């Protein structure tokens, strides 16, 4: 049994009962009590379930897995800087969200949930739909009407009921919340178990780097699960004495939707909602992340930073990665696009060891990429 603690009023709940938020309405944090033993890892399979003890599942028989995790760490060079690309676009449904879904759906199975509601800009919906299907749980996935046709098709293919909501990403969340009165709300943005799955990104990187920390990890930021997962995972490793430093975390937002960047610039402790515009990086277009307060705290505690990239930078970097044989979706080009400014501003220096998270597969957004090519805006340029 684990405990879940409210982020606002600090009420504590046992993890034996299904629950997605506190009675006061705020989100819950998982109380990490136990970490895996390094010595045990040698005998375990190459999926993120090798870190079982850290993930909050009581009985391994409830694990819902598609073989996720343990993605390659590929050396490359971007804008003159040596980097290590974390190839999470190769996860089973084509996005890093599988790290969270495998743990969240395992917990739902452990709780005996038979039907769920999720809302997503696309990738989390596809991921939750796949793992729900695997778990024998009926998924109802709410997505914004503007979501890539490929992502919507993928969600449907996994057997989920699909609800397209006109308007913004926040309108979709509201519609899902309203429907969640009678069905369990398995929101990846709220679930502490989804976040536990994201911590495995830090564990894996530490293991792949022979139990050392890089100087920087650069990741896209929308709802914040990557940045929070990285921070909490590294914190676990430091507390266990497996690692002696925290890497600096660089969060990358789309210039057209950058609420955390604005809050960071203003020195705020929480992230107010902002008005947004459409962006090529649709997967990180979130006007108000649920866990804004924790995100800002994590970035400060890691001596990190937040920056923004324009759509033009995103498309140019997509072309650059293509020339390196790597096909990611536009949202996943945001983090590598930021390397140029992080280096030119002097934050990242030539000798730094830099990991860049590649969050999603290009094949997911083929329709958007084709559209861009037709507009003539996607002619590869010299960078």
Residue 219: alpha-carbon gap to chain centroid? 9
Shortest distance in whole angstroms from residue 20 CB to Zn ion: 13
Question: How many Cα atoms within 13 Å fall on the side-chain side of residue 65?
Answer: 16
22 interacts with Zn ion by CB under 5 A: yes
Interface region with Zn ion, contact rule CB under 5 A, candidates 16-24, 28-36, 232-240, 296-304: 16-24
Interface region with Zn ion, contact rule CB under 5 A, candidates 8-16, 151-159, 229-237, 318-326: 8-16
175 interacts with Zn ion by CB under 5 A: no
Taking CA atoms, 155 is separated from 71, 151, 330, in Å, by: 23, 6, 19
Nearer to Zn ion, 9 or 41 (CB): 9
Rounded distance between C-alpha atoms, residue 149 and residue 348, angstroms:
37
Residue 170: alpha-carbon gap to chain centroid? 18
Rounded distance between C-alpha atoms, residue 2 and residue 57, angstroms:
9
Question: Would you state the structure tokens that stand for residue 272, as one six-digit string?
Answer: 């107010």
A 10 A CB-CB count for 150 gives 20
Interface region with Zn ion, contact rule CB under 5 A, candidates 25-33, 74-82, 114-122, 223-231: 25-33
Nearer to Zn ion, 6 or 126 (CB): 6
Rounded distance between C-alpha atoms, residue 257 and residue 262, angstroms:
10
Q: What angle is formed at CA 165 by the lines to CA 145 and CA 195, rounded to 5 degrees?
A: 90
Shortest distance in whole angstroms from residue 268 CB to Zn ion: 21
In order, the DSSP letters of 351-364 are T--EEEEE-BBGGG
Shortest distance in whole angstroms from residue 8 CB to Zn ion: 5
Question: Would you state the structure tokens that stand for residue 99, as one six-digit string?
Answer: 């790290």
Shortest distance in whole angstroms from residue 236 CB to Zn ion: 24
Nearer to Zn ion, 8 or 273 (CB): 8
Nearer to Zn ion, 25 or 241 (CB): 25
Nearer to Zn ion, 6 or 257 (CB): 6
Nearer to Zn ion, 8 or 383 (CB): 8
Shortest distance in whole angstroms from residue 33 CB to Zn ion: 20
3 interacts with Zn ion by CB under 5 A: no
Shortest distance in whole angstroms from residue 205 CB to Zn ion: 33
Rounded distance between C-alpha atoms, residue 69 and residue 382, angstroms:
34
- 14, 16, 18, 24: which one contacts Zn ion (CB under 5 A)? 24
Rounded distance between C-alpha atoms, residue 166 and residue 369, angstroms:
22
26 interacts with Zn ion by CB under 5 A: yes
Backbone angles phi, psi at 115, to 5 degrees: -145, 145
DSSP three-state, residue 248: strand
- 3, 9, 178, 273: which one contacts Zn ion (CB under 5 A)? 9
120 interacts with Zn ion by CB under 5 A: no
Handedness of CA 220, 90, 37, 135 (dihedral sign): positive
Interface region with Zn ion, contact rule CB under 5 A, candidates 2-10, 237-245, 332-340, 348-356: 2-10
Interface region with Zn ion, contact rule CB under 5 A, candidates 9-17, 108-116, 176-184, 349-357: 9-17
The count of residues interacting with Zn ion (CB under 5 A) is: 7
**Residue whose structure tokens are 């507009």:** 375
6 interacts with Zn ion by CB under 5 A: yes
Residue 237: alpha-carbon gap to chain centroid? 19
Interface region with Zn ion, contact rule CB under 5 A, candidates 17-25, 48-56, 64-72, 257-265: 17-25
309 interacts with Zn ion by CB under 5 A: no
First to last CA, the chain: 53
Q: What angle is formed at CA 112 by the lines to CA 197 and CA 46, rounded to 5 degrees?
A: 30
Interface region with Zn ion, contact rule CB under 5 A, candidates 7-15, 66-74, 166-174, 318-326: 7-15
Binding site for Zn ion (CB under 5 A): 6, 8-9, 11, 22, 24, 26
């Amino acid at each position: 049994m684990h405990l879940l603690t409210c982020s606002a009023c600090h009420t504590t709940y046992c993890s034996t009962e299904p629950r997605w938020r506190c009675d006061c309405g705020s989100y819950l944090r998982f109380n990490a009590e136990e970490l895996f033993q390094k010595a045990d890892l040698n005998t375990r399979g190459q999926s993120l379930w090798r870190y079982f003890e850290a993930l909050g599942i009581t009985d391994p028989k409830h694990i819902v897995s598609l073989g996720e995790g343990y993605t390659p760490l590929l050396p490359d060079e971007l804008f003159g800087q040596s980097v290590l690309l974390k190839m999470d676009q190769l996860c089973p449904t084509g996005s890093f969200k599988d790290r969270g879904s495998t743990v969240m759906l395992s917990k739902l199975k452990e709780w005996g949930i038979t039907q769920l509601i999720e809302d997503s800009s696309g990738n989390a919906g596809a991921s939750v739909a796949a793992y729900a299907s695997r778990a024998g749980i009926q998924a109802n996935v709410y997505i914004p009407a503007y979501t890539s046709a490929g992502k919507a098709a993928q969600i449907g293919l996994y057997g989920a009921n699909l609800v397209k909501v006109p308007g913004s990403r926040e309108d979709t969340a509201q519609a899902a919340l309203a429907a969640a009165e009678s069905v369990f709300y398995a929101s990846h943005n709220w679930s502490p178990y989804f976040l536990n799955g994201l911590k495995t990104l830090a564990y894996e990187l530490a293991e792949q780097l022979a139990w050392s920390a890089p100087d920087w990890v650069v990741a896209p930021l929308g709802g914040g699960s990557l940045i929070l997962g990285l921070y909490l995972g590294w914190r676990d490793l430091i507390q266990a004495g497996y690692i002696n430093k925290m890497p600096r975390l660089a969060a990358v937002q789309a210039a057209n939707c950058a609420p955390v960047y604005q809050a960071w610039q203003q020195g705020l402790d929480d992230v107010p909602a902002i008005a947004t515009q459409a962006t090529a990086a649709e997967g990180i277009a979130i006007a108000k992340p649920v866990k804004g307060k924790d995100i800002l705290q994590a970035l400060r505690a890691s001596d990190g930073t937040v920056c923004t990239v324009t759509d033009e930078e995103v498309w140019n970097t997509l072309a650059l990665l293509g020339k390196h044989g790597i096909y990611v979706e536009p949202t996943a080009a945001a983090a590598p696009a930021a390397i140029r400014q992080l280096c030119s501003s002097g934050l990242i220096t030539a000798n730094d060891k830099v990991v860049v998270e590649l969050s999603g597969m290009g094949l997911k957004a083929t329709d958007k990429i084709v559209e861009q090519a037709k507009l003539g805006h996607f002619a590869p340029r010299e960078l």
